[in-house]
Structure 1
Amino acid sequence: MEQFADTYPMGLQGESHRASSPSAEPHVTPGLKNQDRITEIRSRMLARQSVTLRTSYCSRHLRRDFNIASAKMYVYSLNRKYRQKIAEALSDLHWQISIVDADTTLLPYGDLDVSWLQSGSYDLVMVSAESASMFRALRRVDNLVARLHAAERSGFITREQRREIIAPINMAYVAFKQVSMKLSNKSIEELLSESNLA
């Protein structure tokens, strides 16, 4: 399973760093995967949203996971007990993001220029409160990791430090995906291996 922290944005690894124009139009990416799963759902809550993400790995997770997770959460949340499990996994994901985002010892860099990061724009449909919460989490992670990449580019942190900072969020995201999509349970060793922590 791919992780948040493993993708390098363009502009790192010794290339010349010319910031793109802030007014540059973001690339509008074709539809997300599994769009047919969403169009089949007849939900009372239907919200359309356009979003621009700065980091390629959050873009990849949105494209790959959002529709399938949204469809499965919609169906699985019809069971009240399982809806509670999904809510707990989402709550943990948001909590991990908030902990990292609020820790000034981890991110003491203030405002950093993230305009050089590639952006992609996506149109998506939220069919439940759970899919809206997943969307908010991915957007928050995108903002956080954009700052981490900018801090790395500025020499404040190393790639390894960036991975260590984002590791708790990676673990929470893997756990959320397991619950939201009813994936098979994995051992601690497997989760650590997938998060590059083992």
Structure 2
Amino acid sequence: MDDFVDTYPVGLHMTPSPADAQFAAALVAGGLKNQDRIDEIRSRMISRKTMSLRTSFCSRHMRRDFNIASAKMYVYSLNRQYKAKINEALVDLHWQISMLAVDPTLITFGPMDVSWLTAGTFNFMMVSSESASMFRALRKVDDIVARLYTAERDGLITREQRREIVAPVNLAYNGFKQVAMKLQNKSIEDLLSESHLA
């Protein structure tokens, strides 16, 4: 599994290029993958939201994972016992994000201008409370990581420090994705390796 920490936002090194603009335009034009799976679902709870994401890593994960995870969570949550597992993984993901938001490193930065970051605007359709929760979680991650990229650009932290700060959220996201999409179980060593903790 890919993780969040090794992808750089457009313009991190403050050198805008035509390739950056083409990349951002392609993200908007490309939309979300597996849209057909979401369009087939007839849910009593449908919510639509257009959102601009600031970081390329978050836009990549949302584009790649959101629709397929939403469709699978919708089906798998029909089983109450499995729905409880999905919700438990979501609670862990939200908890890790809330811990990241109050990380002392982030608090010392104070307000930061993240307007230099832009990765694309996307239309999302939530078909269950679980997909809405995933949407809220990744939106928060995008906001927090935008601040971390800005801190890195401004020389307040190093790339390695940013990776260490975000690692617990990566681990929680990978665990959530495993449960939500019924992916092959991985050992704790594999998950730690993917999150760059081992």
Shift of 1:108: 1.3
Higher helix share: 2
Counterparts of 1:37 and 1:174 in 2: how far apart (Å)? 22
Q: Which runs of 5+ in 2 are unaligned?
A: 18-23
> What CA distance in whole angstroms lies between the structure 1 residues aligned with 2:112 and 2:156?
11
* Alpha-carbon separation, structure 1, partners of 2:55 and 2:29: 13
Q: State the alpha-carbon separation in 2 of the partners of residues 129 and 16 from structure 1.
A: 40
> Is the 1:46–1:127 Cα contact (8 Å) retained in structure 2?
yes
- The one-letter amino acid of 1:182's match is K
Show the counterpart of 1:121: 121
Relative to the length of structure 1, the TM-score reads 0.91
The residue number in structure 1 matching 2:152 is 152
| 1:95-131 deviation digits (Å, cap 9, x = unpaired) | 0000110123444101111111123100011000000
Per the alignment, in what secondary structure is the counterpart of residue 157 of structure 1? coil
Question: Take 1:154 and 1:60, find their aligned partners in 2: how far apart are those partners?
Answer: 24
Q: State the 1:17 CA deviation.
A: 7.4
Q: What is the SS of the residue equivalent to 1:6?
A: coil
CA RMSD of aligned residues (A): 1.6
Percent of residue pairs bearing the same amino acid type: 68
Give CA-to-partner distance per residue, 1:117-156, whole Å, 9 cap, x none.
1231000110000000000011000000000000111111
Query: Matches of 1:107 and 1:68 in 2, distance apart?
Result: 35
Aligned residue identity for 1:31: G
Structure 2 counterpart of 1:180: 180
Shift of 1:74: 0.2
Contact 1:106-1:165 at 8 Å conserved across structures: no
Q: Distance in 2 between matches of 1:43 and 1:17?
A: 43
Q: After superposition, where does 1:54-133 map in structure 2 within 5 Å?
A: 54-133=54-133
Give the 3-state SS of the residue equivalent to 2:169 in structure 1.
helix
Q: Could you list the structure 1 runs, at least 4 aligned residues long, displaced by more than 2 angstroms after superposition.
A: 10-13, 15-18, 26-31, 103-107
8 Å Cα contact 1:54/1:118 also seen in 2: yes
> Is contact 2:106–2:148 with CA below 8 Å preserved after alignment?
no
Matched, 1:43 2:66: no
Kindly state the Cα deviation for residue 30 of structure 1 after the two structures are TM-superposed: 3.1
Amino acid at match of 1:183: L
The aligned residue for residue 2 of structure 1 is 2
1:22 is matched with: none
- Give 1:195's aligned residue: 195
Q: Which moved more, 1:110-119 or 1:156-165?
A: 110-119
Size of the alignment, in residue pairs?
190
Take 1:45 and 1:92, find their aligned partners in 2: how far apart are those partners?
23
1:43 & 1:145 partners in 2: Cα distance?
32
